[in-house]
Amino acid sequence: MRLYALLVLTAFVLHVIWERSHIVLYTGYEAMEGVLPVFVFATIGDVVYTFGAVGLVALFKGSLTWFFKVEPREIIGLALIGLWIALFVEYKAMALGRWEYTDAMPLIWGLPVSPLIQMTLLLPLSVFLAAVVERRIRGTLGA
């Protein structure tokens, strides 16, 4: 259970920093403002997507704690899943008119670079860092 709590905390911290610093690249999201600032709402979604990716890999590996000993090929797989998630989210948001990009958003072939890098990098980094912290805690506690 602690491993998943570390994953939530790690993913939340990494994504909230990213979302807060990159919110200036978007426009039209203002209608989504509510009880929470939109960047916090987006961060919660990022954490849910992270859990979904970890769960998907857990199905294939047959272990809920597979990422305690995450391997390089799994990191690459998570990066690819993160890229796919980002593409899905951005295309869906554009199709539904949820937000647009400012002129400051770098685009490659019409695709927004910031969210693609975000999920491709931060999803596997969250998993890796949570596993490292868990291993250090276990080592400290002698468990």
Rounded to 5 degrees, what are φ and ψ at 62? 70, 25
Q: Specify the pLDDT at position 122.
A: 98
Q: Which two tokens stand for residue 132?
A: 């490292």
pLDDT tens across the length of the chain (143 residues): 888 999 999 999 999 999 999 988 988 776 666 667 888 889 999 999 999 999 999 999 899 888 888 889 999 999 999 999 999 999 888 888 778 888 999 999 888 999 999 999 999 999 999 999 988 887 776 65
Q: Specify the pLDDT at position 65.
A: 85
Q: Specify the pLDDT at position 76.
A: 95
Residue 47 has, within 13 A of its CA and on its CB side, a CA count of 21
Q: Specify the pLDDT at position 110.
A: 83
Task: Count the helix, strand and coil residues of the chain and give each as a percent rounded to the nearest 5.
Answer: 75, 5, 15
Q: Which amino acid is at 121?
A: L
3-state secondary structure of 1: coil
